[in-house]
A and B are shown apart, each in its own frame.
Chain A
Amino acid sequence: MKNNLLVTRPENDCATYYLSKWSEKVIKEAQNKGVRIIDLWRNKANRKRFIGTVIKSNPKLLFLNGHGDSDIVGGHNQEAILTIKDKNVVSCKIIYARSCRSGKILGNVLAAQGVVTYLGYKENFWLGYRLEKISKPLEDERAALFLEPSNYVILSLLKGHSAKDANSKSKALFAKNIEKLLIAGPTDENYGYRAALYWDMMNQVCLGNQNATF
């Protein structure tokens, strides 16, 4: 039996719209692999529905997009959908939270108390974008510098790689993008994003069981 992948995709501002649209690439790839997708999109990405769906459908992998803080991951309209008190609901799961700072406290607590592996960010996730592409995020090559490497965490897990390898391979893509900008030099219009790419790369963490696979 195929494992389920649950994706949360709030869309209540430009930042979440970007994360949501770029998650479509992951969803498409997962569908091609025959993975069953549970897509909590826009107002479906609320706490009640999230908790209920995790309990009912028992997805093995959770891909959470949204705003966050050190102790929560947010859903639509910034409602906290995952908190420390949900440790029993999400035990035995692999979680990748593409949100700010949840790898600092929430991820550590959950990974110590039943979650198999928690991948996320210890600090703010910085996302560069191009104002002219704000309505077409998938055509924004500047955002791609940040979101292709982060998408690869899930894409790598879908390929059967371990959580540790998924994290490393994703970081390698961040490093590749930094290298491209360094080679292109200061005349490249995206050169100013290299420090932010390095920041995201260095703050991306893999907590808990490093050998976990999807």
Chain B
Amino acid sequence: MAEEIKREEHVISEGLKDLVIERLEILPSDLKFFIGSDGKELSKKDLIDSVKRGDDVGQQVVEMEMSFLRALKDGVLLEEILSSEQ
């Protein structure tokens, strides 16, 4: 897993894609986002398709999910939450 994460900035491994897609699959079907310089409207299906293709949006989704998981694992997010309560 560590090696896969190191490589995510360049080529997203199939294992990492699968992990992120599994996480996306359990989300509600009405998931919607605006992003980007052109205000793209993205659905859950769009996100999953982008991850499968490995395009710019897909790479960013992987990066987003992995940075969130790292923040949870390393306690960084907990620190942010605790400091927000001060």
Does chain A bind chain B?
yes
Q: Which residues of A contact B (CB under 8 A)?
A: 13-16, 18, 67-69, 74, 78, 100-101, 123-131, 142, 171-173, 175-176, 178-179, 186, 189, 191-196, 198-199, 201-202
Docked-complex contact A195 and B36, CB < 8 angstroms: no
CB distance from B46 to the nearest CB of A (A): 13
**A130 smallest CB distance to B (angstroms):** 7
- CB neighbours (8 Å) of B44 from chain A are 192
* Minimum distance in angstroms from B65 CB to a CB of chain A: 5
A14 touches B41 (CB 8 A): yes
Per-position binary interface string of chain B over residues 42-86, scored 1 when its CB falls under 8 Å from any chain A CB and 0 otherwise:
001000000000000000100011011001000001001101110
Q: Which residue on chain A has the smallest CB distance to residue B66?
A: A195
Q: Do B36 and A175 touch (CB < 8 A)? A: no
Q: State how many residues of chain B have any CB contact under 8 Å with chain A.
A: 28
Q: Among B26, B34, B60, B80, point to the contact of A171 (Cβ < 8 A).
A: B80
Contact pick for B60, options A124, A186, A194, CB 8 Å: A124
**Contact (Cβ within 8 A) A199 B28:** no
Q: Which residues of A contact B26 (CB under 8 A)?
A: 186
Q: How far is the CB of A150 from chain B (nearest CB, A)?
A: 13
The answer, among A67, A192, A193, for a CB contact under 8 Å with B37, is A67
